[in-house]
Amino acid sequence: MAARSSSRSSAKDRPSYRCTECGWTTAKWLGRCPECQAWGTIEEYGAPAVRTTAPGRVTSAALPIGQVDGRQATARSTGVDELDRVLGGGLVPGAVVLLAGEPGVGKSTLLLDVAAKAASDEHRTLYITGEESASQVRLRADRIGALSDHLYLAAETDLSAVLGHLDSVKPSLLVLDSVQTVASPEIDGAPGGMAQVREVAGALIRASKERGMSTLLVGHVTKDGAIAGPRLLEHLVDVVLHFEGDRHARLRLVRGVKNRYGATDEVGCFELHDEGITGLADPSGLFLTRRDEPVPGTCLTVTLEGRRPLVAEVQALTVDSQIPSPRRTTSGLETSRVSMMLAVLEQRGRISALGKRDIYSATVGGVKLSEPAADLAVTLALASAASDTPLPKNLVAIGEVGLAGEVRRVTGVQRRLAEAARLGFTHALVPGDPGRIPDGMRVLEVADIGDALRVLPRRRERGDKARGDKARAGAEDQG
């Protein structure tokens, strides 16, 4: 009798699962309800009550926030100005930074350079590599000049060995390349698995907080560009950085995605070359082509990468198509945005020659323009290529173009104009009410695409020629 009652109580305490759509019940959780075929509707119910945790001893007394010493979180420079810009001034003691990027983009090269420049008599640096041997890292350090007596190097893939190096070296900065290659013998699973990544990251974060040691973790990315491993990894670390760049171009961008110590819209610009990687305080020169005379199909714009304005060049080329379906090829621009601008030009700008021609559009220097502020420059470059007429020299175009042909306002117009004026540009096309205009720059406010297309010289010449032909015809009639 007692056994029967105990079995009843255990069955009663066992949790059940029920579909919130149709009410179907089951003893196990399923992702899809077999009854109504709905996804994610099965929830647990009837589970035993959760026991609460009793209050325990506190590790440190709570203080008024004004009495908390903030000097312990003072940032220390990494020696790389562009990286300091993204980090918010440098590395904070105890901070854990996750740097992710595609293979071959330059993550290891950048962090090895940072490890060498941050090492000093008072601050040792420990570089742990799990993907290469120590001799291979030494060859790269010789090539880029990243040698220091206070930079320690070790090749380890065991978490316990990494923690042992921390006890022996006592570094102020730890660089781990990469977090997916280190595994804990206490956890089942291969290196790089979710359980292993969670355990390795958690152990290193605890060590960083206890020792006041800054940590730089290299993370892999999936084929979709997302950081590999559990999303919990991004929640645990203090800073998440994305290393971006086309492997066929020299430009590399370090973009802040999460930052507990600074802004998340900062971008650091770097140039990758044979001698290593260097920061670019003024990267606009990579995105421009210097010419003595303007060329049809080119237009300049000013884009904002984070808070940094960059002058970029948009190029377009139109040729007669040899196939029934004309080509539409883009590089560095969003194909959907370019298609929208072509439709606006044809319908609102009355340019009908684009529909039957092959159209190629691209940016210079490997920069990618995705913000709507480049719409006006793309539109003018396409119109200039279609009419085979160059735009005026020293002209930049800034503005978003709507489907009705209107030119809309964008953010940061004053910063964009100030950057264009600094580089010597004297004329600008902007939406209405641009704010303060830099000295020496002439700004033309345009309300729609028709106003913007009037800057094309050929359109004015056609109008003048038409008026001249009409006047001559009238004079001949009177004669």
What is the pLDDT at residue 17?
85
What is the pLDDT at residue 192?
86
Structure confidence by residue, pLDDT tens digits, 312-359: 999 999 999 888 889 999 999 999 999 999 999 999 988 887 888 999
What is the pLDDT at residue 465?
43
Structure tokens at 475: 């004079």
Per-chain mean pLDDT for the chain: 86
What is the pLDDT at residue 47?
56
Structure confidence by residue, pLDDT tens digits, 449-460: 999 999 887 544
Say if residue 117's pLDDT is above 90.
Answer: yes
Bridge partners (DSSP) listed for residue 331: 362
Percent of the chain with pLDDT over 70: 91
Residue 13 pLDDT grade (very low, low, confident, very high; cuts 50, 70, 90): low
Structure confidence by residue, pLDDT tens digits, 214-226: 999 999 988 888 8
Residue 472 pLDDT grade (very low, low, confident, very high; cuts 50, 70, 90): very low
Nearest to 311 by CA among 231, 388, 425, 402: 425
Least confident of 368-372, 414-418, 475-479: 475-479
Nearest to 109 by CA among 177, 155, 172: 177
Spatial distance between the Cα atoms of 110 and 61, rounded to a whole number of angstroms: 41
Spatial distance between the Cα atoms of 175 and 22, rounded to a whole number of angstroms: 53
CB 175 within 8 A of CB 114: yes
Q: What is the DSSP letter of 130?
A: S
Structure tokens at 281: 């305080």
Residue 298 pLDDT grade (very low, low, confident, very high; cuts 50, 70, 90): very high
Spatial distance between the Cα atoms of 273 and 244, rounded to a whole number of angstroms: 15
The more confidently predicted of residues 40 and 47 is: 40
